[in-house]
Copies of this chain bind each other. A is one copy, B any other.
Amino acid sequence: MTVYAGQGDAHRSLALLWGAAAEPRTGRSGPKPGLSVDAIVSAGIAVADAEGMAALSMRAVGERLGRTAMALYTYVPGKAELLDLMHDRALAELPAGPPPTDDWREAVTAWAGELYDCYLRHPWVLQVSQARPVLGPAELAAMETLLRALRPAGLPPRRLRGAVAALWQFVRGLAAATADARAAAAVTGVADQDWWAERSTRLAELAPDFAERFPLLTALQSTAGGPPEEGHREAFRSGLAILLDGVAAGR
């Protein structure tokens, strides 16, 4: 399942993301709010972290706060907007300070590692459609951080845009692959390696001509050793190295 975000009223979403709701309107009557947007977002993240995206329902979030699903609608226009807020809150965990080093390679590597780890801490973020037109402050801050890290590389604007896109998507994609490997292991209760072994056997039965159809893939696979999770980490490292080499080449 993939979950759409940003399909709701984009204006409401933007306002909430940028904290317009934080200003407590004065001179209001009625009972004191027992909840807050922040609390709801936190509850949503707690549910998604613990039970996964599939279990994230308005009911579940409300229940965690001791309310019904409908109580949330006082604070949040709908589920799509809640997802937007959750997304940005998760990315807010990323460090925002100036890069710790002048070496841009090192700085970008650190940035990528932080983003990768953040995604793995909150795998459900990877299931929020990346096709989100709603930009939150944390997401923009992360981009600003990347730009700051990349600054010493001195890229021209056009190339800089390409580098940012390539780096971001690469980290996101690799994190998704890693998160999935973990999820598969968790769901089946089977160790990563065994699961893939079983899958390979099954595949060999169904496609006995595998090696002939995909010779290069077969050859590449045969050179891989160690557990799959380590494989992802290695792909992360070497893919990032390629990207950085490319950035360096085009200065």
A49 to B190, CA, bound (A): 36
The 8 Å CB contact of A144, one of B179, B217, B224, B231, is: B217
| Contact indicator per residue, chain A 221-245, by CB within 8 Å of chain B (1) or not (0) | 0011000000100111111111111
With known contacts A2-B128, A165-B170, A170-B169, A244–B246 Cβ distance under 8 A: yes
On whether the beta carbons of A176 and B131 are closer than 8 Å, the reply is yes
Contacts of A144 in B (CB 8 A): 213-217
A250 to B165, CA, bound (A): 21
A203 to B166, CA, bound (A): 25
- How many copies of the polypeptide does the oligomer hold? 2
A53: CB under 8 A from chain B? Answer: yes
On whether the beta carbons of B131 and A235 are closer than 8 Å, the reply is no
Contacts of A140 in B (CB 8 A): 214, 217
A71: CB under 8 A from chain B? Answer: no
A46: CB under 8 A from chain B? Answer: no
A4 to B52, CA, bound (A): 12
A54: CB under 8 A from chain B? Answer: yes
A193-224 contacts to B (CB < 8 Å):
199, 202-203, 206-207, 213-217, 220, 223-224
> Which residues does A use to contact B, with CB under 8 Å?
1-4, 7, 10-11, 14-15, 18-20, 53-54, 123, 126-133, 135, 137, 140-141, 143-144, 147-148, 151, 157-163, 165-166, 168-170, 172-174, 176-177, 179-181, 183-184, 199, 202-203, 206-207, 213-217, 220, 223-224, 231, 234-250
Residue contacts A-B, CB under 8 angstroms, 26 given: A2-B128, A4-B54, A11-B202, A123-B131, A129-B176, A130-B176, A131-B177, A131-B179, A140-B214, A140-B217, A144-B217, A147-B220, A148-B216, A157-B224, A159-B242, A161-B234, A161-B238, A161-B239, A162-B240, A163-B238, A163-B242, A165-B173, A166-B170, A166-B242, A172-B173, A245-B245
Q: A133-B184, A144-B215 are in contact. List 13 more A-B contacts (CB 8 A).
A: A1-B129, A2-B127, A14-B202, A18-B206, A126-B129, A137-B207, A143-B217, A162-B239, A162-B242, A165-B173, A172-B173, A242-B243, A248-B249
